Structure 1
Amino acid sequence: MSTEKKIMIKDLKAPGLDLTDVKIEFGDVEEYWDEPMGPTPMPSITDLREWDFKLLKKYPPLYIPNCDMCCFCAYGKCDLTKDKRGACGIGQKSQLARKVIMESIWGAAAHGAHSDHLLHEMIRIHGADFPIDMGPDVLIEAPIYRVLIGKKPKTLGDLVQGVEYAKNEIFHLTSSLHAGMEGSYLDRESKAMHAGLMDNLLMEIGDITQIATYNFPKGVIDVPLVQLGPG
């Protein structure tokens, strides 16, 4: 687990030493735990591409377009019927795969914005050292975070790294929507799968934050639903 440490020395006197109001900060301290690091901590867009392609080869995407035009930029509208290509070189499959990335990013950004706001607000209220306690019946408190980040979060402050990592990945994923520059439409599908990873990570961070800080039920079976709204 990665943590930041701060030490404040108000007054320290010793032979040959006289310190007053000294602040010492340790940037990033690694605390080792009993699980080996995986091969791709905080994977980039391309780190899992080979595995994505294996899945996409076994389970090829099925496209049923509801529109044969591309209207994404000022060069259009571009007709993509009958193997035609747009002004940027994009084809029908790549255009449809681009929409899949876009929709995946929308979901990840929506969940991520909520989790980001919730986490930082709870840190403001409770402090970054507020412990993550998922209850005695939960053996692995953050399975997605552990797999993707490669660390075991113990406090709210530890979760910030996961949010910042996902933000950066979503930033780069969004840039791929610009034009038809991918060599294969499967490149776009791989990016959509990466966006799905970020979405799941951010949702988990939000869930952990609210369970820990609002003292929601922890590992309880058949939790009663809360009635919201009219009806």
Structure 2
Amino acid sequence: MGIPRKVKSDNGAPFNSQNFKEFAIKYGFQHHRVTPLHPQANGTAEAFMKPLIKALTTACTEGFQLRQGLCNFLLNYRSIPHPSKGRSPAEIMFGRKLKTKIPTYSKPENDDEIRKRETLAKRNQKRNADVKRKSKPADLRIGDTVLIRQKPRHKLDTPFNPTPGTLIKKNGFTITVEHNGKQFRRDASHFKPVQTDVQDRRRNVHNGGTIPTPTVPMAESSTAKRFED
């Protein structure tokens, strides 16, 4: 099928190797690694794995070889219309349906309609997912002090590492934080801002407010002195 323009992968060891980097340069394609510990960033591949694993498990249960089960799954997958595109992968790629053993070819139609339908479906899916997860915009900026979400080792561990880090880079929802001399690249949902005076003042000005002046304790009133006496 030729060399792809862009390859998206997770952060597995084979894709982080120097050999794969040289392979991408040699064949002239862009390699993009998704945000670590955030499988939603590679949702297409993650969603594809669910029916694939189910099909292979069914093949093993029924006594078929894995290769045969894989071929049957791919034939069915390429023949069934995709829910967001309205066409089967075979129709989109080759301009024909996989219905007979004798291949036929017809000129592919303009895919603008398919792309618009897919974009609309993905937008609706994202909106529904944001509502379900109660997502909020990440109000994080370079220089902010943040806490990093950690995997609890026991019940007394806190959800976030108590030692704060500093946000040094932001690319959309991908945040890079320097923490104890190391850099961590995670999704914005993995960080919690630490409320400092500088951050509070900066956000207040950004939201159209004014920098709050420090409050000065009021002098003791005569009533307070009478009660004290």
Instruction: Give the TM-score taking structure 2 as reference length.
Output: 0.24
**Relative contact order (alpha carbons < 8 A, sep ≥ 6): 1 or 2 greater?**
1
Larger Rg, first or second structure (1 or 2): 2
Instruction: Give the TM-score taking structure 1 as reference length.
Output: 0.24
